[in-house]
Structure 1
Amino acid sequence: MPAAITTSPAIRSRSGFSTLLSDYALLTKPRVSLMVIITAGAGFYLGCLRSGISPFSRSMVEALFGIALVTAGSSALNQALERRTDRLMIRTAQRPMAQHRVGLVHGLLIGFLLICGGSLYLSWATNMITGTLTLLTAASYVGVYTPLKRITTLNTFIGAFPGALPPLIGWTAARGIIEWPAVALFAVLFIWQFPHFMAIGWMYREEYAGAGIRVTASQKPLGWAAKSTAIQAIFYAVIMIPASLWLVPLGVDGKLYGVAALALGLWYLTASIQFAKIAGDPENPDARKLARHLLKVSVIYLPLLLAAMMLDARGRLFF
């Protein structure tokens, strides 16, 4: 068992001046929360256009506010459960609960209040199905995915379900019902996660292994782990193309979106194929660079795809 990563004197000095509000902000995992809000907002936008109403209204603000509350609460509970594991990895060692700047009871209280309050608010501000789905998303993320990270590599597949629900939740907030376009949005985000997480897993495989977190890239032998990681990245990048194009026959988007989705999908696939070179020489120092490149492509790909969806929604802007 590796020793916990401690805070350097310089960091301890700075942390003494940090405020409770800044620690609260770190508990919400701002990047994750932002991605959830963006994807949920895209689902809400497309759902509103389906209904023929303006998406830019008070309802959108209310929906995204409630979703943001539940997301923040889920992140807080996630850090409460992983506070010991977080101390073992450089990338997470300075989180407030890992460093005991926020106590366990304190963090749990914040998490439960935000999740319960956000779900109730969504049920009141939008509809019951949206509030229920958001609560189930938080429960599966915290109660199922998080514990499984130390048990099986299947945690990535299982965790992709709550990770893909935000755009579907955004759609139900606008429409009040689960429809095939909402399922298609779920499928897009579900599939997108795998090349993205394969890249992250490979970049931090040693840290994950040291902390006891089970990811494909950290399994032994290394050659098998590299091949399995590469195959999964390519497989999901391939099926990402038809999944993203599904929105066209469903009538959500037009031809311009179809062209953009195809081009972006081929770009994502190319980056995944390049990443697959790790299978040939997993110990090559350049393997980490290939993973970092795929990660960069993945975080650019998704916002561009969502932007294309929204700009050409139902083909009304260009065709």
Structure 2
Amino acid sequence: MTPVASSSPAPAFADETTPSTLPMAQATTADHSDVASRLADYRELFKVRVTTMVVITAWAGFYLGSMRSGISSVQPGLIETLVGIGLVSAGSSALNQALERKSDAKMIRTSDRPLPSGRINLAHGILLGLLAIAIGAVWLTLRANLLTGTLTLLTAFSYVAIYTPLKRYTPLATFIGAFPGAMPPLIGWVAARGMIEWPAVALFAILFVWQFPHFMAIAWLYREDYGRAGIKMLPVVQPDGWSTVLEALVYAVLLIPVSLLPVYLHIAGHLYGAAALLLGIFYLIYTIRFARITKAQTVLESRRYARDLLKVSVIYLPLLLTAMMLNAIGKF
């Protein structure tokens, strides 16, 4: 007996099913696209790359603090600390973008962020930011210690409530913003040791000083954007570039002795000291080269000097911290 299905021609079967299955396939593709787009917006809102750098520098502090205590940093406390710090950093980034949504909308490089573009509404962004900060700070208090939770919360407050609005009024905002920017390794140390000590202050000092050539390169690259948005970065207020170069050079020179503090404080050995010296000289050379922005013949040439310094600054920090961790000194 011939099955009923065999009496229906293949084209008729295709014609009957295509209209119903095609919209379903399109809907599934659209759903996947929407999910991917939303995840990309959250990555931008939480500044995942910046948060990753924060977590890495905090890990260095935790590792070195654990070494000072004579214990392994490979423990549940490490993951718990980094999760808490990462949450607070992500939440701070979300609140920062909520406060800066109007100025972000005026800048080419930030106008497509989820808040100024309207893909995430303001209330949603603020709620996510506050929740991430609150959960992260409470988590650190419970899983690490009260001092770690308090310092992390104060860091978020200074970044969001002081540095962010101050950028519209004075170039000194860069100096103020360097304080919360330098806190992660100190917080990591405190999470491991439960107290603020001179080695933790040295880690803070290295990141504090490192930021200025890094920030000046960024400020020069995007000075037109900052000017349109009314953000008082140094290259906007003093566009000839000399003040920008001078600030970058002073801190690049200062970074060399500051980066050697871990040797004097017995955090790391002389191999680290040699690496820090070489890296510091390398960073300084590119900062000196950055001074050519004042005599550059074209905008492209000027931007190249700034971009090269920015790349070197991003390479410098992980290499320095890696050398410090590899040549770390144990319980002293």
TM-score by length of 1: 0.91
- Within 5 Å, which residues of 2 pair with 1:75-154? 75-154=93-172
Whether 2:241 is the aligned partner of 1:216: answer: no
Alpha-carbon distance in 1 for matches of 2:51, 2:77 = 19
Which residue among 288, 293, 299 is the counterpart of 2:308?
Answer: 293
Asked if the contact 2:70/2:330 (under 8 Å) is kept, the reply is no
Q: Post-superposition shift, 1:278?
A: 1.6
The match for 2:41 is 23
- Equivalent residue in structure 2 for 1:39, among 57, 60, 63: 57
Between 1:94-103 and 1:266-275, the stretch displaced more is 94-103
- How far apart, in 2, do the equivalents of 1:122 and 1:21 lie? 26
The aligned counterpart of 2:294 is 279
What fraction of aligned residue pairs are identical, expressed as a percent? Answer: 59
Partner residue, 1:3: none
Which residue is equivalent to 2:182?
164
Instruction: Give the secondary-structure state (helix, strand or coil) at the position aligned to 1:53.
Output: coil
Which letter maps to 1:140? S
State the partner residue of 1:6.
none
Q: Structure 2 CA distance, aligned partners of 1:60 and 1:173?
A: 9
In 2, distance between residues paired with 1:22 and 1:302? 27
Q: State the distance in 2 between where 1:213 and 1:117 align.
A: 31
The one-letter code of the counterpart of 2:86 is A
Q: Which has the larger radius of gyration?
A: 2
Say which SS state the counterpart of residue 278 (structure 1) adopts. Answer: helix
The answer to whether the Cα contact below 8 Å between 1:192 and 1:236 also exists between their aligned partners in 2 is: yes
State the distance in 2 between where 1:197 and 1:147 align: 17
Matched, 1:60 2:75: no
Which of these residues, 249, 263, 266, is aligned with residue 248 of structure 1? 263
RMSD: 1.6
Any idea what SS the aligned residue of 2:182 has? helix
Higher helix share: 2
Unpaired runs of at least 5, structure 2:
1-31
The count of residues paired between Structure 1 and Structure 2 equals 300
CA contact 1:195–1:236 (8 Å) conserved in 2: yes
Shift of residue 84, structure 1, vs aligned partner: 1.0
Equivalent residue number for residue 4 of structure 1: none
Shift of 1:18: 4.5
Amino acid at match of 2:77: S
TM-score of the aligned structures, taking structure 2 as reference length: 0.88
CA distance in 2, matches of 1:308, 1:88: 41
Aligned residue in 2 for 1:8: none
The one-letter amino acid paired with 2:154 is: L
Q: Which amino acid aligns with 2:276?
A: A
Give 5+ residue unaligned stretches, structure 1: 1-13
Matched-pair contact (CA < 8 Å) for 1:255–1:315: no
Aligned residue identity for 2:102 = R
Report deviation, 1:101.
1.1
Q: Compute the displacement of 1:102 (Å).
A: 1.0
Q: Is the 8 A contact 1:201 1:216 kept in 2?
A: yes
Instruction: Determine the structure 2 residue equivalent to 1:7.
Output: none
Q: Does residue 173 of the first structure (1) align with residue 191 of the second (2)? A: yes
